[in-house]
């Protein structure tokens, strides 16, 4: 079972206890993701690909300007220190409110994520969709890293992914957030926490890698794959 999320699947209400549901929901349908449901080989392939330098960013508080830090590390390592782009491994490891970076618009809108988690834009309004996924203006193909409208200055998730950045999703965080969404009345009537968790996990942004526990995954990435660690405190 591939651990990459996919979009366009119908909601998985009622699949929490079925074998079919467990086979289709990234990370499985239990509160704690077990090794039987974790595609460790795929995780190793993605985060353990050949690289000369590795860095992970842990993000907990919701602060979208963090993507500028990720862009800056890519540009600094590539254009300043001279590392080949395909030999740089960077991963974003969000949990807590920052888990929402990995949610598709379907999830943001169905569960009113911005309102539920009190996520605001610069004007103080609740964020209503994953506005961080795509570039907010057309990008040109300039090779100049200082070109404001070129890919090297863009901080959208899709552009960072095209530059090799891996986005991960914490299975535990989603399970916990599903309970909060049901408790606080943001889930449709009749949906239980596991139904909501299953629905979210099957509607993540393309390329998101689900891990059993983000704090555990960070430890593995540091110990086994030699990632350096950055935590962004805002």
Domains of the chain, by residue range, sit at: 37-138+147-231
pLDDT of residue 191: 97
Q: At CA 1, angle to CA 221 and CA 40, rounded to 5?
A: 20
Check if the beta carbon of residue 211 is closer than 8 Å to that of residue 217: yes
Q: Is the pTM of this model over 0.85?
A: yes
Task: Say which residues have a Cβ less than 8 Å from residue 189's Cβ, sequence separation at least 6.
Answer: none
Backbone torsions φ then ψ of 43, nearest 5 degrees = -60, -45
Q: What is the pLDDT along the chain (234 residues), one digit of tens a residue?
A: 333 333 233 333 333 333 334 448 999 999 999 999 998 999 999 999 999 999 999 999 899 999 999 999 999 999 999 999 999 999 999 999 999 999 999 999 999 999 999 999 889 999 999 999 999 999 999 999 999 999 999 999 999 999 999 999 999 999 999 999 999 999 999 999 999 999 999 999 999 999 999 999 999 999 999 999 987 766
Start-to-end CA span in the chain (Å): 37
| Of the candidates 5, 45, 19, 33, the residue with the CA atom closest to the CA atom of residue 199 | 5
d(CA 139, CA 81): 25
| Of the candidates 203, 226, 225, 10, the residue with the CA atom closest to the CA atom of residue 100 | 203
Burial code (b: 16+ CB inside 10 Å, e: under 16) for 127-161 equals beebebbeeeeeeeeeeebeeeebbbbbbbbebbb
d(CA 175, CA 192): 11
Q: What CATH architecture applies to the domain 37-138+147-231?
A: 3-Layer(aba) Sandwich (3.40)
- Rg (alpha carbons) of the chain, rounded to whole number: 18
pLDDT of residue 24: 86
Strand-pairing partners, residue 55, are 90, 228
User: Which CB contacts under 8 angstroms, 24+ apart, belong to 132-141?
Assistant: 132/64, 132/67, 132/101, 132/156, 132/157, 133/105, 133/157, 133/158, 133/205, 134/158, 135/159
């Amino acid at each position: 079972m591939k651990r990459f999320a996919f979009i366009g699947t119908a909601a998985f209400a009622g699949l929490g206890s079925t074998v079919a549901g467990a086979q289709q929901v990234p990370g499985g349908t239990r509160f704690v993701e077990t090794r039987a449901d974790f595609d460790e080989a795929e995780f190793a392939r993605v985060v353990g690909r050949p690289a000369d330098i590795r860095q992970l960013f842990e993000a907990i508080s919701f602060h979208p300007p963090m993507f500028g830090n990720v862009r800056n590390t890519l540009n600094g390592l590539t254009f300043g220190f001279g590392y080949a782009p395909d030999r740089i491994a960077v991963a974003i490891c969000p949990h807590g409110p920052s888990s929402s970076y990995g949610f598709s618009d379907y999830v943001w809108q169905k569960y009113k994520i911005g309102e539920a988690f009190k996520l605001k834009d610069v004007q103080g309004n609740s964020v209503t969709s994953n506005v961080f996924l795509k570039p907010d203006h057309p990008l040109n193909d300039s090779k100049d890293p200082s070109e404001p409208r070129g890919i090297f200055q863009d901080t959208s998730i899709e552009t960072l992914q095209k530059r090799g950045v891996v986005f991960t999703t914490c299975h535990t965080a989603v399970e916990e957030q599903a309970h909060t969404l049901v408790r606080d009345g943001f889930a449709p009537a009749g949906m239980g926490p596991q139904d909501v968790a299953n629905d979210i996990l099957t509607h993540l942004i393309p390329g998101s890698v689900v891990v059993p526990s983000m704090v555990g995954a960070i430890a593995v990435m540091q110990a086994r794959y030699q990632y350096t660690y950055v935590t962004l405190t805002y």
